Amino acid sequence: MGEVEGLKAANAGEIETLRIKYLSKKGEISQLMNDFRDVPPEQKREVGQYLNQLKEKTQQKINELKDSFADADAPSGDTDLTRTSYPVEMGTRHPLSIVKKEICDIFGRLGFSIAEGPEIEDDWHVFSSLNFAEDHPARDMQDTFFISHNPEIILRTHTSSVQTRVMEQQQPPIRIVCPGRVYRNEAISYRAHCFFHQVEALYVDRNVSFADLRQALLFFAGELFGAGTRIRLRPSYFPFTEPSAEMDISCNLCGGRGCQFCKHTGWVEILGCGMVHPNVLDNCGIDSRIYSGYALGMGIERVTNLKYQVNDLRLFSENDIRFLRQFESAN
């Protein structure tokens, strides 16, 4: 009987194995019952009682094992039976999507609407209509990805192509913001990638001035980076704007003291801007003698680096779940 009391099982499958071993028609107890006829008559009474008790104890032990597992699997009173059988983790938006939405919302409060266009573009909308010279370096293979060696079909290098498409189809006033992915043939590093994301803005109307552009930039920097953010405008050159400028903000990775990301200057360039070149307006069918406008564009990765203090933009495209989970609270 001691062997029966010591029976153990870790799961329902092992309990069934024990039942077959001892109680089935070919089990050990059934075999002992079959051998009962060979027991001498004077011992039959004693052996018979023992076999009956053994069978009863074994059945009782197996039933107890079954009951113990049934109790463990029984739902408690506070169990939600409508839940799935495995935990489902909530996802989170990508940090670039978070920042892109925030940028678009800021310009939306200034009256800008969102415009989008194709990533595979033609030379006219990416370069020629934007006043790029035929020998401009941006047309080189070092900067531009061409489709099937066709110099007319390319992967867009900026979302300015969306602006030209809108200007071709719509007369002023035009006030749009153009987010999207762009491609350039550049070496991949902590500061650059062969693809990245941009947001560009365009405002065309009567009597638009550089002062309007500066006021929009001041509002944008204060809304995105905080009221204490300092900005500066430096003269620059872009084929599609005149005059042109680059806007820097004080580096919030180092507080303006100087670090690797800001090249120890305390300032980080975040966007280029300027007044839309009259040739661009004329190329798109807008009379530059009546209308003027400003345009600006920025890389979303650069802005995200500054906003969340990420010092390597390669993290944005590696899909490391440990990195992405840090932005769950930013949704």
* pLDDT tens digits along 56-102: 888 887 888 777 766 555 555 566 777 776 776 777 888 999 999 99
Q: What is the pLDDT of residue 97?
A: 92
Tally of CA atoms within 13 A in the half-sphere of 301 that contains its CB: 20
Per-residue pLDDT, 331: 57
Sequence-distant (6+) residues with CB within 8 A of 100 are 179, 197, 199, 300
29, 54 Cβ separation under 8 angstroms: yes
pLDDT for the residue 142: 61
Give pLDDT, residue 267: 87
For residues 251 and 261, what is the distance between their CA atoms, to the nearest angstrom? 8
pLDDT at position 26, please?
A: 78
Amino acid 317: pLDDT = 86
Separation in Å, CA 237 to CA 31, 226, 240 = 99, 28, 9
**Contacts of residue 113, Cβ cutoff 8 Å, sequence gap at least 6:** 175, 176, 177
| Residue pLDDT, tens place only, 12-58 | 778 788 788 878 877 887 887 777 777 788 887 887 788 788 888 88
Please, are residues 153 and 120 in contact by the beta-carbon 8 Å criterion?
A: yes
Per-residue pLDDT at 20: 82
> Helix (H, G, I), strand (E, B), or coil: what is residue 272?
strand
Q: Report the run of H or E that residue 219 belongs to, with start and end.
A: helix 210-225
Residue 245: its pLDDT value, please? Answer: 95
* pLDDT at position 51: 78
Spans of the chain below 50 pLDDT: none
